[in-house]
Structure 1
Amino acid sequence: MTSYDEIYTTFLNNCMVSDLDLPQTDKGKYEMIKNAVLHYNNRLRTKLTCDDATESVSEKLDDDHLLILAHYIRYHFLLNEKTYFESLWQPFEKDVGLKNFGTQLRSLESSVTEQARFIDSLIINTEVDFL
């Protein structure tokens, strides 16, 4: 079994984000991990489950799959950050004189797209090549 701490540490080591934007409670961290596991299961057609009591997932993940799961956490972190920025500032962009709203939004969209592509490349790298 892989511990939540191992997953979260891998996320922090590979996906630097501001500590201010990360959940400060264990419950918030658990929810980030559970959400990533849902998407991981959907994409890889696995049945990985989370257990908050033991703070672990149901299988021992190898390094490749641990990295994929950590990057799914980052992907959803970036997606939520983009949605938050867009919903917070778009209604007021003209009122407050936010001149670079479009540029910042494109930058966030680019980060989300880049992260999705990176996850794809990590998944492709796990495939066994029989040629």
Structure 2
Amino acid sequence: MTSYDTVWTHFTNKCKIDDLEIPNSDAAIYDTIQNALLKFNIHLDENVSGDNSTELLSRDLDGNELLLIIHCIRLIILENQVIYFSSTYAPFTKELGVRNLGTQMNRLETLVENEKKEIQDILMKMMDDFL
């Protein structure tokens, strides 16, 4: 069975994100992996689960599946960044003197869209391999 450590190590090696944005407590990492499993299961119509007590997934993931789940993790973190940024800074841009908020939001939204496209590309590759 694939371990949480394997998933998290592949994620931190493959999907570079600012270290300040990456969950660093065990509980936050577990939550992030569980949320990624939800997306993963929806995309593949699977029922893979994770056990936080043993830090194992319910089955081994092959290379493509591992790549998909780490990109699901990255997508979740990027979407959270967009939500945080827009809800924290947008209402107070004039008071805080924040400049180029629109540019920064567009950059984050572009990263989210690029990640969604990457996930779709992985899914298409997996379908091609299946056929």
TM-score bracket for the superposition, by shorter chain length: over 0.9
- TM norm structure 2: 0.95
Percent of aligned pairs with the same residue? 39
Where does 1:30-69 land on structure 2 (aligned, <5 Å)? 30-69=30-69
- Identify if the C-alpha distance between structure 1 residues 84 and 130 changes in structure 2 by more than 3 Å, giving closer, same or farther: closer
Give 1:126's aligned residue.
126
Q: CA deviation at 1:108?
A: 0.4
- Identify if the C-alpha distance between structure 1 residues 5 and 97 changes in structure 2 by more than 3 Å, giving closer, same or farther: same
User: Structure 2 regions of 5+ residues with no counterpart?
Assistant: none
Give 1:28's aligned residue.
28
Q: CA deviation at 1:95?
A: 1.7
Give 1:19's aligned residue.
19
**Aligned equivalents of 1:102, 1:44: Cα separation in 2:** 35
**Aligned equivalents of 2:25, 2:98: Cα separation in 1:** 33
Q: CA deviation at 1:62?
A: 0.5
**Aligned equivalents of 2:26, 2:120: Cα separation in 1:** 29
Q: CA deviation at 1:23?
A: 1.8
User: Structure 1 regions of 5+ residues with no counterpart?
Assistant: none
Give 2:109's aligned residue.
109
Partner amino acid, structure 2, of 1:13: N
- TM norm structure 1: 0.95
Name the SS of the counterpart of 1:37 in structure 2.
Answer: helix
**Greater shift in the superposed pair: 35-44 or 17-26:** 17-26
Q: CA deviation at 1:11?
A: 0.7
Structure 1 segments, 4+ long, off by >4 Å, are none
Partner amino acid, structure 2, of 1:41: N
Give 1:71's aligned residue.
71
How many residue pairs align between the two structures? 131
> What is the RMSD computed on CA atoms of the aligned residues?
1.4
